Structure 1
Amino acid sequence: MPPTPQRDFSAPTIVIGAGPHGLAAAALLNRSGEPTVILERSDRVGASWAQRYDHLRLHTTPGTSQLPGLPIPRQAGPWVSRDDYVRYLEDYVAHHRLDVRVNTEVQRIERAEPGSRARWLVHSADGLVPAGAVVVATGRCRTPDTPRWPGRSTFTGTLLHSAHYRSPAPYRGRDVLVVGAGNSGTEIASVLAGAGAERVRISVRTSPNILPRSSARWHAAGRLTEVLPLAWRDRTSLLTQRLAVPDLTSRGLPRPRTGLYTRNVREGVNPVLDHGFVDAVLSGRVEPVAAVQAFDGPDVVLADGTRLRPDTVIAATGFRSDLHDLVGTLGVLDDAGQPLAVGGQSHPTAPRLYFTGYTNPLTGVLRQAGIEARAIAHALRREKARPALPLPQPGGRRAAGALDNGHAPG
């Protein structure tokens, strides 16, 4: 254990991550009178958004994508571009006068020693920061997750994760295999097919639920139907899909076996919003193929035994939250490495440690940022109003810090 910092009667709340969830949490904490500092490992606000591909647009409308206290400008249009959204996040920092420390990577969080005013010690490359509370907002997309396919290292073509894809220009005249049929994979495949790639195939393990992008009401429907049983919700979405999306089975993409709502609840997967993908498949410009099984030199081996020889493979295979280095010793993660408590909930053994941005609700990830920020600000305000009570820690140690103990309700 490092030296205990001096007693700090005004230890701030530390927010880790300057993305939408971290900014929203900091804004509402500041509004409630809680001094808050944001630590961001990159050199700018909203870095994970700024690094996405050039043609990215939000899949949610401005009304469900804006953060508390500042609307997205009307001139951004109905589907906000990457650059417009990054500018909005920068404006949000200025509007709320948020204290953001860039180029400050947090290495780990640990409990402060008993008797310290701080509840937590935040270790960064710049030193030790005492904190009265910590909000972890590094997000679900912290680290690109490329599967460890057998023979991957033998591939003689180009293999990259979608996190490193920027534009279709380098792939003109190339044979490209996109792996993964989520929103990123289907959008990248569609854009490549329309921008001069010689051939575009998309490797599909599980057929996605597809909805028309032209309708913005599916997020509202998600909110309205939350109280209904999953089976009923699946039936309503199935009707919408059958009416709006043609059957692509003959093109190699059968209808999904699992309902839209069930898959979201069980796997955290949202539906694909169609932005030209269906037409690209119908026209043959994007060819669905089986799941990738292995690599073998220049070849990609599919689950059905087919061998492909693409010039480039783009793995749109998702991300990892990678929270173990930060909080892996605190007993607050499940077996999959995800937080056991999110939003305004704290784990009973870790009061005043909050997580935001680790769910993927049908009602919209960005809308959830505001919901969780309000819950965190409310929970911390209520907990600080409670009398201090000793709280045992794992291993029998008493909870550190002189701030009030307790479990923050959502």
Structure 2
Amino acid sequence: MREIPSDVDVVIVGGGQAGLGMSYRLSEAGIAHIVLDDRERTGDVWRERWDSLVLFTPKRFAALAGSPLPPEADPYPTRLQIADYLEQYAADHAVPVAHRTRVTRIARAEPTGRDFRGRFAIQYERDAHPGTITARSVVIASGPFQYPRVPRVAAGLDDAVAQRHSSAYRTPSDLPAGRIAVVGGGNSAAQLATELATGPGAAERTVTMIAPAEPWFIPEKVAGLSVYWPLSLFGILDSPADSRISQYIHSRGDGILGTEAKKLVRRGQLGLRTSRVVGAAGRALELANGERVEVDAVLWCTGFRAHYPFVAVEGALTEHGGPRHDRGISPVSGFYWIGLPWQSRLDSSILHGIDADARELTAAIVDARGTDPALASASMGS
């Protein structure tokens, strides 16, 4: 098990793809750092997703800097292939990750026997044992997808109605037979609605997808090529978050890659309602358009909320508890974020876009030191 030092140049909170990508660039710059991750193994965040999960990005765009996915990976990698890839990536690049380490509080460090002004104190628990590490800089790489969001109206449904958030769903057998509502308008909702409508036990279910607006289905291929290739070729995939094309795409909401769910709707195998869920009573969901949808179970694909209770650094969070930043750089000196949707580019939240943001943040960290990275501390050993 990796030893956690008492002091280091940079602490990265979160050992998923964003944390690994950030570590790669910090190591390249010769900046000493450690990654604190609360999982047992690198990649566990992917192992915990639903069994049939497949990335909607092709493997060329699902890799981190320095290592492509292995040749045997599927064209659209599975969750286990990504999990194993990340674990191997951490080993290949000697990422200094400390597992089973949950960060409990980040605050400004109090001056002690040496001058800790401008440093941070990161408190953590590891195997039920508390500890503290100080650092010049902190990068939050735990992502925005940690705390499931379920509408309050869900409490109005009868106890007999089975309810589950997509983060807790693994297989169709998790839900009972009968009338199933999949609430959400993104890729997760479309993938899971399709699985429930066509997978094992589908004959015993009537599945309805309830999207807040008309779903935006994007073909997987254009002229026989993955749609990601023209998006990359024409500079759309990595277009700045404030560009016109990015703002247009952002305003359209989550695009659903692939048209399988759309075809099922046309064939009558999958129901579709385009309205927001505004209430629930008994065994029915109440929609903004006045409709009532009778249900025996609800799968909430309603996303996640930003929640960083461990951040106790004044000015680091917005009044709503979300990250306060400009392209990942906090107004608090020495505090950074990575892996956020629309952080700086259209693709900031997918594996393909992590490296560009990691490069920018590494440059900002080096610049803040006012030193040549070659003179910075050497990366941590095992």
State TM-score, norm by structure 2.
0.83
CA distance in 1, matches of 2:93, 2:134: 23
Please state whether the residue corresponding to 1:140 is helix, strand or coil: coil
2:221–2:227: 8 Å Cα contact kept in structure 1? no
In structure 2, the residue matched to 1:383 is 368
Please state whether the residue corresponding to 1:15 is helix, strand or coil: strand
In structure 1, the residue matched to 2:103 is 106
Q: Does 1:296 align with 2:293?
A: no
In structure 1, the residue matched to 2:231 is 221
Q: CA offsets per residue over residues 191-219 of structure 1, 9 Å max, x none?
A: 11111332100112122321012342346
Aligned residue type for 2:141: A
CA distance in 2, matches of 1:299, 1:47: 36
| Alignment match of 1:209 (pick from 209, 213, 216) | 216
In structure 2, the residue matched to 1:120 is 120
**Closer, same or farther in 2 for the Cα pair 1:31/1:228, shift >3 Å?**
closer
**Closer, same or farther in 2 for the Cα pair 1:103/1:213, shift >3 Å?**
same
Please state whether the residue corresponding to 2:310 is helix, strand or coil: helix
In structure 1, the residue matched to 2:310 is 326
**Closer, same or farther in 2 for the Cα pair 1:328/1:74, shift >3 Å?**
same
| Alignment match of 1:287 (pick from 249, 266, 271) | 271
CA distance in 2, matches of 1:120, 1:104: 17
CA distance in 2, matches of 1:122, 1:56: 34
1:124-135 to 2 correspondence within 5 Å? 124-125=124-125, 126-135=130-139
Q: CA offsets per residue over residues 15-67 of structure 1, 9 Å max, x none?
A: 10011000111122122111221111222222322211111111112222111
Greater alpha carbon shift after TM alignment, 331-340 vs 14-23? 331-340
In structure 2, the residue matched to 1:149 is 153
Q: How far did 1:263 drift? A: 5.3
CA distance in 1, matches of 2:174, 2:291: 26
Q: Does 1:185 align with 2:189?
A: yes
Q: What is the count of residue pairs matched by the alignment?
A: 349
Q: Does 1:339 align with 2:323?
A: yes
Please state whether the residue corresponding to 1:42 is helix, strand or coil: coil
Q: Does 1:359 align with 2:341?
A: yes
| Alignment match of 1:79 (pick from 59, 76, 80) | 76
2:241–2:247: 8 Å Cα contact kept in structure 1? no
Q: Percent identity?
A: 27
2:106–2:123: 8 Å Cα contact kept in structure 1? yes
Q: How far did 1:167 drift? A: 1.5
2:329–2:361: 8 Å Cα contact kept in structure 1? no
CA distance in 1, matches of 2:164, 2:363: 42
Please state whether the residue corresponding to 2:66 is helix, strand or coil: coil
In structure 2, the residue matched to 1:252 is none
Q: How far did 1:147 drift? A: 1.1
CA distance in 2, matches of 1:263, 1:141: 23
**Closer, same or farther in 2 for the Cα pair 1:45/1:283, shift >3 Å?**
same
Q: How far did 1:296 drift? A: 1.2
CA distance in 2, matches of 1:228, 1:369: 14
| Alignment match of 1:138 (pick from 135, 139, 142) | 142
Aligned residue type for 1:353: F
CA distance in 2, matches of 1:87, 1:170: 25
Aligned residue type for 2:340: Y
State TM-score, norm by structure 1.
0.78
Q: How far did 1:228 drift? A: 12
2:157–2:284: 8 Å Cα contact kept in structure 1? no
CA distance in 1, matches of 2:185, 2:124: 37
Q: Does 1:68 align with 2:68?
A: no
**Closer, same or farther in 2 for the Cα pair 1:121/1:160, shift >3 Å?**
same
1:201–1:287: 8 Å Cα contact kept in structure 2? yes
Q: Tell me which protein shows more strand as a share of its residues.
A: 2
In structure 1, the residue matched to 2:20 is 23
Q: CA offsets per residue over residues 328-354 of structure 1, 9 Å max, x none?
A: 5421223443322255x5334x22211
Please state whether the residue corresponding to 1:105 is helix, strand or coil: strand
CA RMSD in angstroms, aligned pairs only: 2.7
1:338–1:358: 8 Å Cα contact kept in structure 2? no
Q: How far did 1:140 drift? A: 1.4
**Closer, same or farther in 2 for the Cα pair 1:72/1:282, shift >3 Å?**
same
Structure 2, unmatched stretches of 5+, are: 1-5, 377-382
Aligned residue type for 2:329: S
